Amino acid sequence: MKLEDLKKYKFFWYIKKKLKIKSKNKIFFEKANFNRISFIHRALRKFPQKTAKYLEIGVFQNAVFDTIYLSENNKYGVDPQSGGNYKMTSDEFFSKNKILFDVIFIDGLHHYKQCQKDCINALKFLKPNGIILLHDLLPQNADEEFVPQRNKTWTGDVWKVAVELNLSKNLDFRIVNIDHGVGILKKKKNYDYRVLKGLEKERFETFYNKYFRKLPIISCKEAMKFIDSK
């Protein structure tokens, strides 16, 4: 190797090392061949295929929606831009809705307050033994978390909803540590969604240092058991 090349190599190595140090607050996922779809299907398995009702908030390219094996009448996909079968915002949909669902997947706008609204509405329109799944609860770094979106992979700050669900009363809540964090939620009688004051301005560092380790994070295997349990 020429001296010049060696100098260049050393320089890049130094920068890489520095960057690594800078981004040491990073979240790693469980290595497993599961994703959000695995858990949605597992949840749907609990309900009779002929009558089960599924709602997806935020559908995009139908990557999940098309895999749902229910009749077209029992699948509700809500997105103002693309995919699904209800071209409107979640707020518009819930304001007119009268149907109760067995399984609801929340994956719409990744802004804390919108996701919080989606979650509160989903709880209202969930059958008593139904299951809600939420996507993107575990940002891996500050770029993925930042609002407004500045990174291709983007969870936004919906982790704040996970923090609130974890502190809420009579809500049984877990997060699977895969596929950007998949939340699983069941409601009990007299549940009470707890809105936390002062979360709105918090960013990734607060999530990582203050809340991440307190979240009910479970493995894929445990998640399957949790879904199957009463």
Ligand X SMILES: C[S@@+](CC[C@H](N)C(=O)[O-])C[C@H]1O[C@@H](n2cnc3c(N)ncnc32)[C@H](O)[C@@H]1O
Binding interface with ligand X (CB under 6 A): 56-60, 63-64, 78-82, 89-90, 107-109, 114
Beta bridge partners of 57: 78, 106
Closest-by-Cβ residue to ligand X is 58
Of 57 and 217, nearer to ligand X (C-beta) is 57
**Residue 91 CB, nearest approach to ligand X (Å):** 6
Strands 169-176 and 182-192: antiparallel
Of 84 and 130, nearer to ligand X (C-beta) is 84
Of 80 and 191, nearer to ligand X (C-beta) is 80
**Residue 35 CB, nearest approach to ligand X (Å):** 9
Of 89 and 177, nearer to ligand X (C-beta) is 89
Q: How many Å is the maximal CA-CA distance in the chain?
A: 73
Cβ proximity of 140 and 46 under 8 Å? no
Q: What is the DSSP string of 107-166?
A: -S---HHHHHHHHHHHHHTEEEEEEEEEE-----SHHHH-SS--SSS--TTTHHHHHHHH
**Residue 34 CB, nearest approach to ligand X (Å):** 14
Residue reference for tokens 């009910």: 216
Tokens read off for 229: 């349990």
**Residue 78 CB, nearest approach to ligand X (Å):** 5
Of 39 and 208, nearer to ligand X (C-beta) is 39
Of 62 and 206, nearer to ligand X (C-beta) is 62
**Residue 143 CB, nearest approach to ligand X (Å):** 16
- Rounded Cα distance between 169 and 191, Å, is 5
Beta bridge partners of 86: 78
E-assigned strands of the chain? 54-57, 75-78, 101-106, 126-135, 169-176, 182-192, 217-218
**Residue 160 CB, nearest approach to ligand X (Å):** 17
At residue 29, what are phi and psi to the nearest 5 degrees?
-95, 155
